Amino acid sequence: MNPRNQILIAMAIAGAGAAAAWGWSHLARWRQKDPNEVERLRRLDVNRRGRITTAEIVDLLEPELAGAATASRPFMVIYKYQVAGVTYEVSQDVSALPAALSASRSLALQTASIKYDPKAPTNSIIACEAWNGMDTPSDRSHNEK
């Protein structure tokens, strides 16, 4: 094979590699999930694999009513729980979870159930789309009927 053909083959391989890398990077960006979807998937994963323990709801941070941007502000439930002698204090935005949002408004300084990842106890939820640890006794009796 002469040197000219070798150079052409090398250039063709390099061009194909560059085109493949460009295509892969655009595909990866196109498939990227938005932050809300990533959070939803995290909640569902903790729900699926998590262990249940008791937590104390420490505080509720509600968005202020002034201004038009309040719909985009989070409603945070701050809670603390203990796993293996370590106390964790965390928060969760429950704005996207209507059932949890309505239940949380009356539960400041009350106890609730949470689910946490046994491999990473800081990764916890107090509610998700399929589970709510803030059910009140009246909610439980209504669900049992």
Q: Is the pLDDT of residue 43 over 80?
A: yes
pLDDT digits (tens, 9 = 90+) for 71-124: 567 888 999 999 999 999 999 998 888 877 777 777 778 899 999 999 999 999
* CB 105, CB 60: distance < 8 Å: yes
Cβ neighbours around 78 below 10 Å, total: 16
Greater confidence (40 vs 73) lies with: 40
Distance CA 64, CA 70 (A): 7
pLDDT above 60 for 126: yes
